[in-house]
Amino acid sequence: MLELNNISFRYNSSTPLLINNFSFKAEKGDIIAVRGDSGTGKTTLLNIICSVIPKVFTGDLTGSILHDNVDISKLSLPEIAPRISLLMQHPDNQLFFPTVEQELAFAPENLKVPAKDIIIRIDDVLFRLNIENLKYKETTSLSFGQKKLITLSSIITLSPNVYLLDEPFAGLSQEYINLISNEIKTQSNNGKIIFVAGHTDDILQLANKTIEMGMLNEKH
């Protein structure tokens, strides 16, 4: 379970509240559409949920976030990542290793997952996303869409409890959108919580809950 309790946020005292006294509860298997136009705070909300705000980017944040009754503000980012992981809008900001295989192995290696299990995780996600041919490719040689699939795959091999997907369909072909949509449903069926941020109605078809960002700065 993930609980957001009375979250309020602004970037500094001279800017208006982006989020005002917002509470929300997500249960295992929930797919939550985080919907809103550009500038309404979709990325900000995801960054708050995974503690990138305030641990990396500062601002005026109040309220608490609990994952399985643990206050995540008490945890470091490396401790949070196996619980709650973020897929960024721009994949180049999330690719760090020369090859796809190294990229996908990094997170589970850090968690000391046995080598044979890491291989199984990598091969399994590449198969489900139909990108087995990319396993030994250099990450710099990939197309934008392929990079998106690989960054998503790197989170899946980590296997967090909560996925935060920031504009996962932006700039992708319908084929890749379908692959990611099917994977979101698979992860939901496995009990994962998935937040899907976007500005179109497409994400509503996947979701069983919705957060309308334009309403989060209203007074309560």
Q: Dump pLDDT digits (tens) for 173-212.
A: 999 999 999 999 999 999 999 999 998 777 888 999 999 9
Question: Would you say residue 220 has pLDDT above 50?
Answer: no
pLDDT the model gives residue 218? 59
Domains and CATH numbers, the chain: 1-83+198-220 (3.40.50.300)
Q: Dump pLDDT digits (tens) for 140-176.
A: 999 999 999 999 999 999 999 999 999 999 889 999 9
C-beta neighbour count of 81 within 10 angstroms: 19
pLDDT the model gives residue 90? 92
Separation of alpha carbons 88 and 204, rounded Å: 20
Q: Dump pLDDT digits (tens) for 161-170.
A: 999 999 999 8
Q: How confident is the model at residue 40 (pLDDT cuts 50, 70, 90)?
A: confident
**Helix, coil or strand: residue 13:** coil
What 8-state DSSP symbol labels residue 71? E
Question: Would you say residue 48 has pLDDT above 90?
Answer: yes
Q: What is the mean pLDDT of residues 86-97?
A: 94
Question: Parallel, antiparallel, or unpaired for β 162-166 and 84-87?
Answer: parallel
pLDDT the model gives residue 15? 85
Question: Would you say residue 112 has pLDDT above 50?
Answer: yes
**Tokens 């937040």 sit at which residue?**
195
Strand order in the sheet with 162-166: 84-87, 162-166, 193-198, 31-35, 209-212
